[in-house]
Copies of this chain bind each other. A is one copy, B any other.
Amino acid sequence: MKKMKHKGILIVVSGFSGAGKGTLMKQLVHSYDNYALSVSMTTRNPRPGEEEGKEYFFVSREEFEEKIAQDGLIEYASYCDNYYGTPREYVERQLEKGKDVILEIEIQGALKIKKKFPTALLMFVMPPDAAELKKRLEGRGTESQEVIEKRLKRASEEAEGIEQYDYIVINDKLEECVEKMHSLVQAAHCAPSRNEERIENMRKELEALN
């Protein structure tokens, strides 16, 4: 990760709770074969139905702090007395293989990543409008009114940072949105900074022909 000369792109996806990030990312990974989904590590207890290595890697506080000490996380944060972080090894290995690696992180973590890895691609997923967001949060049927209100408040706070993202993606129709996210990644691959070798080769070849 030191030089970020990998072919793969580090993609950070943020967005309001209820914006549909999870579904989008699953569909993206399913539809195209260039993606790898990073799984976060946490010290919180698994919820019913959550599987080790799928939603999270569940570890003890001691294990997590050892990871931190080893510089084994590319970012981490603490919420409500629990740690959450992104294991470095998986991300690095996939980027080296040329995979585009997707991290789902909230805005503070996203900005940390951007600082450490300026070539990371930051996307913010938004519902078409706030009413739709509320409807989706309520539609889940699993959350109390209090939780919904807390999330709307949090959304309002997160909305302050949208301009710091490279792109916003409106999650209106799933398929279109997945295609758009893929377009953004394809576009990033076309930046001159990601094609230095190709440009250099073209120059040498042209020199040789002249």
Contacts and interface: CB of A to CB of B under 8 A. Distances in A.
Secondary structure of the A side of the interface?
helix
A183 B181 CA distance: 10
Interface stretch (A91-99, A110-118, A159-167): A159-167
Copies of this chain per assembly: 2
A190 interface: yes
A130 B191 contact: no
A195 to B, nearest CB: 6
A59 interface: no
Contacts of A190: 167-169, 180, 184
A134 interface: yes
A3 B181 CA distance: 28
A202 B159 contact: yes
7 contacts: A126-B202, A129-B205, A152-B209, A168-B192, A183-B183, A183-B186, A184-B190
